[in-house]
Amino acid sequence: MCGIVACRTTDAAGPYLVRALGLLEYRGYDSAGVAIRTAGSATATLRTVTRVDSLGALVKEWSGQPLTGTGIGHTRWATHGAVTEANAHPHRDCTGRISVVHNGIIENADELRQQLVAAGHEFASDVDSEVVCHLVEDALAETDDLHAAVTSMLPRLAGSWALVVMDAATGRLIATADGSPLLVARSARGDFVASDAGAIAEWIDDYRVLHDGDVVELAESVSWMRGGIPTPPPPVIHSTWGGADLSLDHHADFMDKEIDEQPETAARILEHLVPGIADGSLWRSTGVVDFNRVAMIGCGTSLNAGGVIGMVFSRLGGVPFESLVASEAAGPALGSRTVVFAISQSGETADVLRAVDDVGSVSSLIALTNNPHSTLARRADSIVNCFAGREIGVAATKTFVAQVVTGVSYALSALVETGRLSSADALRQVEDMRRIPDLLAQAIAASRQSIPAVVDQVRDATGFLYLGRGSGVVYAAEGALKLKELSYRWAEHYPAGELKHGPLALVEAGTPVVVVDNGDRRLASNIAEVAARGANVIRIGGAGSTVPALGLSMQSPLPGGIESWGPLESVVPMQILARDLALALGRDVDKPRNLAKSVTVE
């Protein structure tokens, strides 16, 4: 994965690169680095295995030749090679003239490395990306034109890449991409390249996205080539990012802030979508006319959101649905009347992109995403923006709520539009949904009261079980995912009825068992089974529960209503449990180890 930035500005490049890398850290934060051309046509390469903040200090402390406005930067999520400074990008060729940043994977790197070493090149790192530096170095022995050199070495690469190549001798910058996102932008501040428009949004108004195979030079006039032939630049996209809101307000971390933003996020989305539910107009806006089946494709939290949305189609409309783990969804036989929802907050998840490439002939592909400018959005037949606002914490919180509220709204509208749900029933659903912001707010308040005592009890536990039944199972899955991701403790979810078929053997005195109590009567005997073995049962439910966070939804008067796919607010106490336990264990809750916000490798 990794984030890339490059700039060619009249003022100093360092602050631009460091600021943008801070905004790209969500793509990986194992290490970060910049290579900036000096006034003497050499390169200052500064790298760190700590965070981007310390890279900023390194740039400030630089005491060598003055730094120019031309540079490249990178924030890394390690794939090939350990997290060391030597493996941090940018990498350089043997001469130090060429510096490269790369996002993606060079699949034939081992083979190329052997050939390059045999030809006399010396490698300074273990990473796949370094081969590119040496390939460009070789190509420059044949031509003195960097553009031609980059173009000529590309056919030797297999895999996926977004690359920026900087030539310190000439100050030339070349960007190229195949299978990994990259965009270029020009503004009064200068020329920029980035993995994501959000990283450079404060300096640009619009940008162009590289197509696979494009090779672009940032120069007085930007030259755009594909397959060695000049090609018209892709259309300009207006940036709607605005400056990034990176303030924590009074919060200790972004996850805390984003948990608190959930009621307002849900309210905003509902206000926007509710008018189009009971008259089917929301669904009509997707342009999908006919379907008899629904498939949800996603990873992690987004897949869990898909599980909730799918329940609306199946339980309220009788439409069969299946959830497909994107990384396993190779060539599924979905059928031409299947609507596929590809769900991804980032819209850049490589597993999801690969899966949608493979779906074959389907009725329609809908991207449910928080990034309407993403690669996924560009590949879909229609885009459903979940309008969560920027989420910085790596753990998905408000984007989950936004995906569910948005997806459920579209699902209900689809059922009305296709005659599977009456407008009157849909209106009753809408009335229930209007409670969601309050339910979330109450869940936050109840959890903040009850969870500290729970954390004290479970602090030393090494493994957790999460149980649910019916619509509660998918929320249990989301709760277990949050706990693993943030606390680095084992957590597994099960349909509660499955316990006795094996997992019950894990339960011993003190084992924390988190139960999403959605009111299913059969849960009582499952709770009794674990309690009899000494489990520490943490019941998330209505009044009288360990965490009484589900108050209002337990009183829903509508059979087959929101309880068909709720309780959505049950995620709140599980988010807070995961965060508070992680903090008690000294974890970085916004940047858990080994992870990244946007997972752009398969």
Q: Which amino acid is at 298?
A: G
Q: Which is nearer to ligand M6R, 468 or 561 (by Cβ)?
A: 468
| CA 503 to mean position of chain CA atoms | 31
Binding mask 531-550 for ligand M6R (x = CB under 6 A): --------------------
Confirm or reject binding of residue 3 to ligand M6R (CB under 6 A).
Answer: no
Q: Which is nearer to ligand M6R, 339 or 402 (by Cβ)?
A: 402
544 vs 266, 535, 539, 540, 598, CA distance in Å? 27, 18, 9, 10, 39
Q: Residue 508 CB: number of other CB atoms within 10 A?
A: 10
Q: Select from 580, 541, 358 the least CA-distant residue to 446.
A: 541
What token pair was written down for 6? Answer: 């490059």
Task: Give the active site residue among 2, 7, 133, 386.
Answer: 2
| CA 222 to mean position of chain CA atoms | 30
Binding mask 348-367 for ligand M6R (x = CB under 6 A): -x--x---------------
Task: Give the active site residue among 257, 398, 482, 597.
Answer: 597
Confirm or reject binding of residue 301 to ligand M6R (CB under 6 A).
Answer: yes
Q: Which of 9, 103, 344, 575 binds ligand M6R (CB under 6 A)?
A: 344
Alpha-carbon distance of 578 to 588, in angstroms, equals: 12
Q: Which of 48, 68, 75, 346 binds ligand M6R (CB under 6 A)?
A: 346
Q: Is the link from the previous residue into 332 a cis peptide, with omega within 30 of 0?
A: no
**Least distance between ligand M6R and beta carbon 598 (Å):** 6
Tell me, yes or no, if 2 is annotated catalytic: yes
Site size for ligand M6R (CB under 6 A):
16
Q: Which is nearer to ligand M6R, 62 or 490 (by Cβ)?
A: 490
Cβ atoms of 404 and 308 within 8 Å: the answer is: yes
Alpha-carbon distance of 572 to 577, in angstroms, equals: 9
Stretch that binds ligand M6R, among 279-287, 288-296, 345-353, 581-589 (CB under 6 A): 345-353
Stretch that binds ligand M6R, among 130-138, 341-349, 419-427, 461-469 (CB under 6 A): 341-349
Q: Which is nearer to ligand M6R, 112 or 342 (by Cβ)?
A: 342
Cβ atoms of 257 and 245 within 8 Å: the answer is: no
Give 576's DSSP letter: H
Tell me, yes or no, if 597 is annotated catalytic: yes
Alpha-carbon distance of 202 to 243, in angstroms, equals: 5
Q: In the bound complex, which residue of the shown chain has the CB atom lying closest to ligand M6R?
A: 300
Binding mask 457-496 for ligand M6R (x = CB under 6 A): ------------------------x---x-----------
Confirm or reject binding of residue 154 to ligand M6R (CB under 6 A).
Answer: no
Confirm or reject binding of residue 598 to ligand M6R (CB under 6 A).
Answer: yes
Q: Select from 334, 602, 301 the least CA-distant residue to 474.
A: 301
Confirm or reject binding of residue 600 to ligand M6R (CB under 6 A).
Answer: no
3-state secondary structure of 299: coil
Alpha-carbon distance of 445 to 261, in angstroms, equals: 13
Confirm or reject binding of residue 163 to ligand M6R (CB under 6 A).
Answer: no
Q: Taking each helix axis as running N to C, give the angle between helix 300-311 and helix 472-487, from 0 to 180 degrees, rounded to the nearest 10.
A: 170
Confirm or reject binding of residue 394 to ligand M6R (CB under 6 A).
Answer: yes
Q: Is the link from the previous residue into 90 a cis peptide, with omega within 30 of 0?
A: yes
Confirm or reject binding of residue 180 to ligand M6R (CB under 6 A).
Answer: no
What token pair was written down for 39? Answer: 């006034």
Active-site amino acid positions = 2, 597
- Residues at the site binding ligand M6R, with contacts judged by CB under 6 A: 299-302, 344-346, 349, 352, 394-396, 481, 485, 598-599
